[in-house]
């Protein structure tokens, strides 16, 4: 099993979710994160104080998939999340050694969804 | 409302005819009415209440409904509107709205009171009761708040996508070319004294034909020294047409011309804080007592009636929307309830001092129900993006109110009727006639504001451009226009 | 407060005895007092202030204390309460509370003023000063706000677990069967004029025995044309029993019958926004000036005294709670401070126009301290889940206030005493007697509301059910009942 | 303002000279003026409005600007200030501020009214118009709110780092040793009646030299029965010096003595909720109508003028700041706009009843621009950490206002001039002379408050310590001082 | 060393924390996330606009443990987090190659707690 | 490629970001988390209710680096995030099998920044 972690632009979340669902991947976990990269931030001014805000709002999606589904998942995410503009984000694939569905105790691939 | 000063100007304009009638004037000056401090107190607090409606009331009501990235832009647009309009009001707004115009007095006033020229702490403005006056500064303050809130209502229609610079230009133009004329057309008149005095002169003339003719000319002049809709006999206690229909149609035009928000219909645009919306709606309700009951211009039984009406129409509309939503969607929402309340407030505005409490409950029920249907069904059918339902609530609610005012002002239906100053009694009431007059005033407002607004949007578009770029819109106007974020928890 | 109309109905009922006394009536009609506009202005703004207390004040005070998933449910329950009660008030509430009843007048009024029948912009209501009147609509508006806030107080006790449909049914029932009777019992009386006139007739009768007997009958009738607690001599300036004890005990009954929230005592139920709670508490304070000083029904020195008292009792209670918390827990909290403030507001409510400022400070200190002990210790000992301490603050604070009112109303302790309209002077004051009378009124309220509320909860349970399911409660009532979320940051 | 009672005390003190002049006094008692209920109504609501300014207004304006971990600490400090000062006000504050002092009457009053001794519901306080009085309790309530807000303004300067225990001690000390004396020095005087009566006696004395000399002594005594700055002829309609300069300089001293916040200039200290700041600014604006227009002490044309001025100066200042920011930073911010509004409110405070609307617009523009420069440039240059710009907005804005009041009070510039009670007409106006007097009053305030505050900070530092530890500051004062968190979403 | 990542229902956090503490695992890092899976969401309506909310609030717990503690940790979490209702969540185990305690610079197993 | 995950004190974020940038590591993803460990929490009291708050606010930084950069990155974070007080946090290094830059489709090391 692999964990596919994608950092994307927030407004792309719904499209990515749809794309993954279309692949039959019906589970994922999402968090709001802030990203730093090539995409530049902005400056905020509050009365006399100026702050350079380097971090931009991003969404992190984590999808555990069986090893065979990885490349389809990655492709689907890329296709859905891409705008072509800087800051579209990254995908990282890591390895999951073991997984459990808490409700049933099922493990590994059967636990995934 | 004109003041004693107006009366004098009128006098001058009609000098020839007046020769026979002026006998009364020195006496008038001698025992010129002074304000009752209870009235003054009530007008001052009413003015403060209307400001409360706008900031923070309306700003929060609207602000809670947008996404958090656009919160400050809404707050700023509303706050800015109050600031710029109030300064304009002192500079020329009050004058062109409430002084007698030269040439097109049925449409717009003149500049004789620009910079509040001639107004002192002892100047007074007439009310709707003969011989009852309030300090002119109090009247100026009160009416100023109305001028401030009206354009602020509009910004809800194009929220989350209009550039601040566009709003900054739009508001002064709109208030000048749309609001002031409409307010003049609906509310400007010579005041009770001119009419009562002239009417008395007609009676006093008795059999003396020359005197009588002259006196009748004065009376006619007094009666025609009024805005167009006022002359038609349109009634609008606290601004259903002037404020709500006026702003509502301008909003719709804006929503249509500017187009939908990026992601409209696809992405979630759920309100970022219904708590703020609820606070805003509540402050609107509280402040609206100043708006409606203050419009009596006196701390009188009529003001108290307007307060009761404003209370129960709002409640009834909130219940109606809630019930309708419950029936249709299965779950009544807070947003629905407070939207209903605002619809009720809008609808009872023209009726507040005319209808009875039972009539007001009916007005509220109707407005709550009709605006619900409008915002949840009709709007979706047409598919335009009036972000915060300015049209659905203010324009539709205003029209419902304007027409039902004609119905429930009827003494036979528990209303107060319309006072006839010449006859010094409540006039006979012909319901259908009044309905038609009201429709005419509504049509006038829809046309003037609709067309005027379109032109102004075009002008603004040419000068500074209307809309933010897609990227700015995605990032949010708070950062794009103002370089700030609303929240850093 | 009854109005001139009541006086007339009374007259009819006593026709035989009145034959000798009616001489005064035409005169009364001739120089019927008219409202002073300063009073009218003050009553109108006071009404607006009491609405401000409720929405957004109370709603935010409560709302900030719940978890964010239940925020809208609280806001909605409070807002709904205002809406439904105000409509009921116009339909029959005002009538059954403040008109003379047929049959059980010491407990409940009649339907003669249903739909505000017969009320016009010229109708007046008497105040506590003979010959001083206010527009009846102003009185109706003011009292309407009291009817609205009282049931809204209750919802805090069963917050985060009661279904909206249950609240929707509970409120109209409770206000009808508990609030209106209690308000009638404590506040309804014939008004100064009936008593003063009758008393004068007794004096005027002089040695004429027949006349005197008749006049005395009229006087007795006027005196007994009042609610039960009023006849006992209970004093409650602005609603300590009628509003706070009444709601507080109803809340406790609810909390007991409905049971604890899921996870109570195990999971954190920390307030989701003490900022909102602080805003709410502040608006309660500001609005309470309308509640307490408005209850003078005049813009008088007594109203000003009530304002000073309301200010300092609140401050003292806030300081007392803060100090107690500092001593016991080592850190004084904002929640403690504002809870103390509310406890002080509650406790000074019955005393506001009776006590002096120094007495009010003592009342505040006592309430702050006692309610602190109650909310932080006693409640934990008993282990019931009164979510937002409606009992601990409103009922306990109300009882403290009701009893201390008897103490600090004493002229010997800087109080104003009780005015005797028959004798036209402040009556002799027997402190312990008044304490006992107050206790009696408290007991009446505890019993009537306690028992009445239990019955109503049962009825609601049978009809729509009281409690949400465990899953709904976990998910939050905002989604479950209303299909919305309060925040989308 | 002194009341009739003061007049009597004065009488006693001057017994010998008075022998010839007392003839007028019995008459005065016989037709002692009673309050007009319109005035009373206005003073009551104005008092409520000033409380609204403070809680929740000021608390939110400040609270929104701090980081969320310090939100409750700000709210608590402001709320606490209101509580402790209002109790002190009743205990001795009113007395030492507004009763005649023994010995140092030009600096501080006496204890004769401690615990409001002798004040009843019938006591009255004089206004600025001869024979117009208001209930003394209303005057007490109104002035109480001023005493409450002034020290609350200071806490913004050392926000996010001062221990609650330090604030708890600082506030009572500061209000006692700085606020009460300054308020006495600027606002205390014998009232119109003493002066008018004495002036009349001088005239009546005619050619009778002995009588005349005696009468002149009485007049001189009446004139010198006033605070130091009042005697200089300083004018301050609603508290520019007493409230804003006073608090502003105290804040600066605090910021300097306490030092910068941990991480200042390195870590982001962005406001946690500009929404709250906007709500606060709006409520400040609304409430400030009570503050400024209420300071007329009557529901008069002057009050209405003060309201118009307060409206437009604020608007103009908000526009000026916005424009300046737009020019300098390219993006106008909401925080800038509302900061400008507050600067305008501050600056128009001393001028509210003296200047005309056009003059007020100029005052607003000046204040908006100067305070902008101060907060965004000057402050950064000096590098001190006045967390919420108490100095830059309140002290600087106050100074701008104090001086421009002298300019725009000039009748030649549309102002009202200064009323001369002896001559019973508006006095001749020498602009530069008045500017110098104003500067003198400003200097007095800066020195008294500056030095007094430094001493008090030192005392507090010795007794409980001023500053939180670095760890507490990092964790946030909400947890450290109060054991709570503001938000749990 | 392993990283045990559990996605659970929010109200179970306290019980899970307790269960891990009882095992002597005194460290963990928690984030608020939103989950998509079999458990169905709800519909929200704001005036005319209806939104299907597919993501539900969940809590993600990350616990770094020495390899020997993995199964005990997983079992403890399952036991504590289970309600038997759909949506109870998942556990994923991944491998940590290296760990450091910032305060002391201690590494690997000794860094864990 | 490796994923360096650091849990640090929130006010150290800016220094850590600077330190990494100085190394030429121009990308990272940050989330707000709550940590439980040796550092003790506090007690909150709301009227009668007392809650022991065991979780403290922390910031989680995730930096994907090529394997060769790991130790420099770890050292930089330790240096920047260290206060020497309890609660400074942890660093975990895990392995990334695959990475993609969404905008361009670049993969692995070239995707990282
Ligand atoms: N080395 C990295 N490690 C972790 N996250 C990264 C890294 N580089 C970029 N990111 C994440 O990806 C987002 C987009 O990266 P950015 O360089 O701005 O644009 P792009 O991916 O289009 O080149 C960043 O905001 C950040 O959240
Ligand atoms: N494939 C997956 N990858 C990552 N997280 C998942 C995956 N499937 C489910 N989850 C997480 O687990 C949670 C519960 O899953 P769900 O399918 O609703 O119930 P259950 O685990 O009881 O079958 C989801 O809300 C989501 O956060
Ligand atoms: N075993 C662990 N697994 C995951 N995160 C941990 C673990 N132990 C500690 N942490 C995280 O590191 C933070 C600091 O740990 P703590 O024990 O308080 O201090 P220190 O790291 O200085 O020993 C915790 O708040 C938590 O977020």
Nearest to residue C177, comparing CAs of C262, C251, C237, C96?
Answer: C96
Host H or E run for residue C240: none
Q: What is the pLDDT of residues C413-457, one digit of tens each?
A: 999 999 999 999 999 999 999 999 999 999 999 999 999 999 999
Residues with C-beta less than 6 Å from any ligand 3 atom: E 27-29, 62-64, 101, 103, 112-113; F 7, 35-39, 56, 58, 86-90
Say which of D266, D267, D484 has its CB closest to residue F44. D484
Q: What is the pLDDT of residues C302-339, one digit of tens each?
A: 999 999 999 999 999 999 999 999 999 999 999 999 99
- Mean pLDDT on D172-180: 98
Over 70: is that where the pLDDT of D27 sits? no
Residue B11 has a pLDDT of 39
Closest-CA residue of D relative to B35 is D300
- Among E3, E12, E36, most A C-beta atoms within 10 A, so best to mutate, is E36
Q: What is the pLDDT of residues E19-67, one digit of tens each?
A: 999 999 999 999 999 999 999 999 999 998 999 999 999 999 999 999 9
Per residue in B143-171, is it b (16+ CB within 10 Å) or e — as a string? bbbbbbbbbbbbbbbbbbbbbbbbbbbbb
In this prediction, what percent of chain B has a pLDDT beyond 90?
92
Over 50: is that where the pLDDT of B10 sits? no
User: What are the residues facing B134 on neighbouring strands?
Assistant: B125
The region, left, alpha or beta by phi > 0 then psi within -120 to 50, assigned to residue D244 is alpha
Closest-CA residue of B relative to A83 is B471
Tell me how many residue pairs between chain A and chain D have CB atoms under 8 A apart. Answer: 26
Distance CA B181, CA B98 (A): 10
Residue C221 has a pLDDT of 96
- Among A8, A11, A43, most B C-beta atoms within 10 A, so best to mutate, is A11
Give the confidence band of E90 by pLDDT, cuts at 50, 70, 90. Answer: very high
Residue B22 has a pLDDT of 37
Contact B335 E47 (CB under 8 A): yes
Domain that residue C281 falls in: 11-189+226-482
C3 falls within a domain: no
Say which of D42, D289, D318 has its CB closest to residue B83. D318
Q: State the average pLDDT for chain C.
A: 93
Distance CA B231, CA B221 (A): 12
Contact F46 C270 (CB under 8 A): yes
Q: What is the pLDDT of residues C201-231, one digit of tens each?
A: 999 998 899 999 999 999 999 999 999 999 9
Per residue in C215-231, is it b (16+ CB within 10 Å) or e — as a string? bbbbbebbbebbbbbbe
- Among F11, F16, F55, most D C-beta atoms within 10 A, so best to mutate, is F11
Residues C338 and C321 sit within 8 Å (Cβ to Cβ):
no
- Among E11, E80, E85, E87, most C C-beta atoms within 10 A, so best to mutate, is E11
Distance CA B127, CA A16 (A): 64
Residue D30 has a pLDDT of 52
Host H or E run for residue D175: none
Over 90: is that where the pLDDT of D7 sits? no
**From ligand 2's centre to the CA of C70, what distance in Å?**
25
Distance CA B333, CA B338 (A): 9
Contacts of D382 (CB under 8 A, 6+ apart): none
Residue F108 has a pLDDT of 84
**From ligand 2's centre to the CA of A109, what distance in Å?**
13
Over 90: is that where the pLDDT of C23 sits? no
Residue D103 has a pLDDT of 86
Give the confidence band of B243 by pLDDT, cuts at 50, 70, 90. Answer: very high
Provide the Cα torsion C79, C81, C84, C90; round to 10°.
-110
Q: What is the pLDDT of residues C239-272, one digit of tens each?
A: 999 999 999 999 999 999 999 999 999 999 999 9
Give the confidence band of B9 by pLDDT, cuts at 50, 70, 90. Answer: very low
Q: What is the pLDDT of residues D79-104, one digit of tens each?
A: 999 999 999 999 999 999 999 998 89
pTM score, two decimals? 0.95
Question: Is some CB atom of chain D closer than 8 A to the CB atom of C316?
Answer: yes
Around Cβ D383, how many Cβ atoms within 10 Å? 9
B375 falls within a domain: yes
B194 falls within a domain: no
Residues C351 and C237 sit within 8 Å (Cβ to Cβ):
yes
Residues B281 and B346 sit within 8 Å (Cβ to Cβ):
no
- Among B62, B255, B270, most E C-beta atoms within 10 A, so best to mutate, is B270
Token duo for residue D278: 């906007």
Distance CA C94, CA C99 (A): 7
Distance CA C293, CA C290 (A): 6
Contacts of B383 (CB under 8 A, 6+ apart): none
Q: State the average pLDDT for chain B.
A: 93
Distance CA B190, CA B195 (A): 7
User: What are the residues facing B273 on neighbouring strands?
Assistant: C487
Residue B30 has a pLDDT of 52
Query: What are φ and ψ of residue D278, in 5° steps?
Result: -70, -45
Distance CA C408, CA C401 (A): 10
Contact E44 C479 (CB under 8 A): yes
SS3 C23: coil
What distances in angstroms separate CA C145 from CA A70, C51, C81, C114, one per listed residue? 64, 6, 11, 18
Q: State the average pLDDT for chain A.
A: 95
SS3 D392: helix
Residue C31 has a pLDDT of 76
Q: Which of B17-31, D296-310, F91-105 has the lowest mean pLDDT?
A: B17-31
Residues B368 and B358 sit within 8 Å (Cβ to Cβ):
no
Say which of A47, A48, A51 has its CB closest to residue D268. A51
Question: Is some CB atom of chain B closer than 8 A to the CB atom of D315?
Answer: yes
Cis, bond preceding D419 (omega within 30 deg of 0):
no
Give the confidence band of B15 by pLDDT, cuts at 50, 70, 90. Answer: very low
Distance from CA of F98 to the nearest CA of E (A): 15
Around Cβ C412, how many Cβ atoms within 10 Å? 8
Contact F47 C389 (CB under 8 A): yes
Residues with C-beta less than 6 Å from any ligand 2 atom: A 27-29, 62-64, 101, 103, 112-113; E 7, 35-39, 56, 58, 86-90
Over 90: is that where the pLDDT of B282 sits? yes
Query: What are φ and ψ of residue B237, in 5° steps?
Result: -55, -50
Residues A20 and A105 sit within 8 Å (Cβ to Cβ):
no
**Burial (0-12, 13-18, 19+ Cβ within 10 Å), C200:** middle
**Burial (0-12, 13-18, 19+ Cβ within 10 Å), A57:** middle
Contacts of C395 (CB under 8 A, 6+ apart): C244, C245, C247, C248, C249, C251, C252
C202 falls within a domain: no
Looking at ligand 2, which residue's alpha carbon is closest to its atom 9? A27
Please, which chains are in contact with F (at least 3 CB pairs closer than 8 A)?
A: A, C, D, E
Looking at ligand 2, which residue's alpha carbon is closest to its atom 24? E35
Residue B188 has a pLDDT of 97
Over 50: is that where the pLDDT of B17 sits? no
Ligand 1 test: best mutation among F5, F20, F29, F59, most atoms within 8 Å of CB?
F29
- Mean pLDDT on B28-43: 87
Q: What is the pLDDT of residues D394-436, one digit of tens each?
A: 999 999 999 999 999 999 999 999 999 999 999 999 999 999 9
Contact D39 B41 (CB under 8 A): yes
Distance from CA of D159 to the nearest CA of C (A): 16
Question: Is some CB atom of chain B closer than 8 A to the CB atom of C88?
Answer: no
Q: What is the pLDDT of residues C102-117, one digit of tens each?
A: 889 999 999 999 999 9
Residues of D in contact with F45 (CB under 8 A): 483-484
Looking at ligand 1, which residue's alpha carbon is closest to its atom 24? A35
Q: What is the pLDDT of residues D178-226, one digit of tens each?
A: 999 999 999 999 999 999 999 999 999 989 999 999 999 999 999 999 9
- Mean pLDDT on C476-485: 96
Distance, C-alpha C295 to centroid of its chain: 10
Ligand nearest to the CA of A55: 1
Say which of D47, D60, D486 has its CB closest to residue C273. D486
Token duo for residue E43: 């519909």
Contacts of C458 (CB under 8 A, 6+ apart): C257
**From ligand 3's centre to the CA of D369, what distance in Å?**
50
Q: Is the CB of A8 under 6 A from ligand 1?
A: no
Distance CA D197, CA D267 (A): 64
The region, left, alpha or beta by phi > 0 then psi within -120 to 50, assigned to residue B206 is left
Token duo for residue C154: 């209750």
What distances in angstroms separate CA D96 from CA D137, D175, D183, D291, D385, one per listed residue? 16, 11, 10, 21, 34
Residue B206 has a pLDDT of 87
pLDDT < 50: residue spans in chain A: none
What single-letter DSSP state applies at residue E25?
-
Say which of F47, F48, F51 has its CB closest to residue C268. F51
Contacts of D25 (CB under 8 A, 6+ apart): D11
Residues of E in contact with A28 (CB under 8 A): 35-37
Q: How many domains does chain B have?
A: 1
Question: Is some CB atom of chain A closer than 8 A to the CB atom of F43?
Answer: no
Residues C234 and C186 sit within 8 Å (Cβ to Cβ):
yes
Tell me how many residue pairs between chain D and chain F have CB atoms under 8 A apart. Answer: 17
Around Cβ A39, how many Cβ atoms within 10 Å? 17
Q: What is the pLDDT of residues B99-148, one digit of tens each?
A: 999 889 999 999 999 999 999 999 999 999 999 999 999 999 999 999 99
CATH number at residue C345: 1.10.3430.10
Ligand 1 test: best mutation among A5, A6, A7, A61, most atoms within 8 Å of CB?
A7
- Mean pLDDT on D159-164: 97
Residue A112 has a pLDDT of 86
Distance from CA of F108 to the nearest CA of C (A): 34
Over 70: is that where the pLDDT of C18 sits? no
Q: What is the pLDDT of residues C123-157, one digit of tens each?
A: 999 999 999 999 999 999 999 999 999 999 999 99
Over 50: is that where the pLDDT of B261 sits? yes
Distance CA F37, CA F7 (A): 12
Over 70: is that where the pLDDT of B6 sits? no
Over 80: is that where the pLDDT of C5 sits? no
Contact D336 A51 (CB under 8 A): no
Say which of F44, F47, F51 has its CB closest to residue C376. F47
Contact F103 A92 (CB under 8 A): no
SS3 D419: strand
Residues C352 and C293 sit within 8 Å (Cβ to Cβ):
yes
Closest-CA residue of E relative to B322 is E47
Q: What is the pLDDT of residues D230-261, one digit of tens each?
A: 999 999 999 999 999 999 999 999 999 999 99
Say which of B270, B331, B376 has its CB closest to residue E48. B376
Q: What is the pLDDT of residues D426-463, one digit of tens each?
A: 999 999 999 999 999 999 999 999 999 999 999 999 99
Please, which chains are in contact with B (at least 3 CB pairs closer than 8 A)?
A: A, C, D, E
The angle formed by the CA atoms of residues C80, C83 and C84, to the nearest 5 degrees, is: 85
Residue B356 has a pLDDT of 98
């Amino acid at each position: 099993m692999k964990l596919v972690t994608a950092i994307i632009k927030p407004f792309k979340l719904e499209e990515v979710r749809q794309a993954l669902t279309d692949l039959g991947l019906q589970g994922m976990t999402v968090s709001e994160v802030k990203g730093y990269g090539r995409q530049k931030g902005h400056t905020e001014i509050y009365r006399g104080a100026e702050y350079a805000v380097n971090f931009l709002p991003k969404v992190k999606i984590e999808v555990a998939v069986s090893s065979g589904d990885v490349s389809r998942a990655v492709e689907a995410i890329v296709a859905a999340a891409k705008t072509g503009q800087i800051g579209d984000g990254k995908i990282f694939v890591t390895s999951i050694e073991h997984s459990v569905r808490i409700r049933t105790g099922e493990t590994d691939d059967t636990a995934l969804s | 409302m004109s003041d004693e000063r107006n009366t004098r100007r009128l006098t001058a304009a009609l000098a020839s005819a007046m020769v026979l009638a002026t006998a009364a004037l020195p006496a008038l000056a001698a025992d010129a009415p002074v304000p009752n401090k209870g009235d003054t107190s009530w007008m001052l607090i009413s003015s403060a209440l209307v400001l409360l409606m706008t900031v923070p009331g309306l700003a929060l009501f609207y602000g809670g409904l947008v996404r958090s990235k656009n919160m400050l832009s809404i707050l700023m647009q509303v706050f800015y509107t109050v600031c710029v309009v109030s300064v304009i009001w002192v500079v020329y707004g009050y004058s062109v709205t409430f002084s007698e115009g030269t040439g097109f007095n049925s449409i717009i006033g003149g500049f004789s009171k620009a910079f509040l020229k001639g107004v002192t702490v002892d100047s007074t403005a007439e009310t709707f009761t003969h011989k009852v006056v309030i300090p002119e500064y109090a009247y100026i303050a009160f009416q100023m708040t109305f001028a401030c809130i009206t354009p602020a209502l509009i910004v809800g229609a194009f929220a989350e996508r209009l550039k601040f610079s566009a709003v900054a230009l739009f508001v002064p133009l709109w208030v000048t070319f749309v609001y002031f004329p409409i307010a003049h057309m609906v509310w400007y008149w010579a005041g009770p004294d001119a009419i009562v005095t002239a009417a008395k002169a007609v009676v006093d003339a008795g059999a003396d034909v020359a005197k009588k003719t002259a006196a009748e000319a004065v009376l006619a002049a007094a009666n025609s020294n009024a805005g167009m809709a006022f002359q038609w006999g349109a009634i609008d206690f606290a601004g259903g047409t002037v404020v709500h229909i006026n702003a509502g149609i301008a909003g719709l035009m804006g929503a249509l011309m500017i187009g939908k928000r990026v992601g409209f219909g696809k992405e979630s645009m759920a309100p970022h804080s219904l708590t703020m919306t609820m606070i805003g709606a509540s402050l609107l309700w509280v402040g609206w007592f100043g708006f409606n009951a203050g419009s009596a211009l006196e701390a009188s039984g009529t003001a108290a009636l307007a307060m009761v009406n404003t209370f129960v129409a709002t409640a009834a509309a909130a219940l109606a929307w809630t019930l309708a939503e419950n029936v249709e969607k299965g779950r009544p929402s807070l947003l629905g309830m407070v939207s209903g309340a605002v619809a009720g407030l809008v609808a009872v505005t023209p009726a507040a001092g005319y209808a009875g409490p039972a009539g007001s409950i009916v007005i509220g029920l109707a407005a709550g129900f009709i605006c619900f249907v409008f915002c949840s069904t009709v709007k979706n059918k047409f598919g335009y993006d009036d972000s915060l339902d300015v049209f659905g609530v203010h324009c539709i609610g205003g029209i419902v109110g304007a027409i039902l005012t004609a119905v429930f002002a009827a003494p036979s239906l528990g209303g107060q009727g319309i006072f006839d100053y010449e006859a010094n009694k409540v006039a006979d009431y012909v319901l259908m006639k009044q309905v038609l007059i009201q429709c005419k005033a509504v049509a006038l407002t829809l046309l003037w504001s609709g067309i005027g607004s379109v032109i102004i949007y075009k002008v603004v578009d040419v000068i500074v451009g209307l809309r933010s770029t897609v990227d700015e819109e995605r990032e949010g106007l708070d950062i794009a226009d103002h370089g700030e974020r609303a929240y850093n928890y």
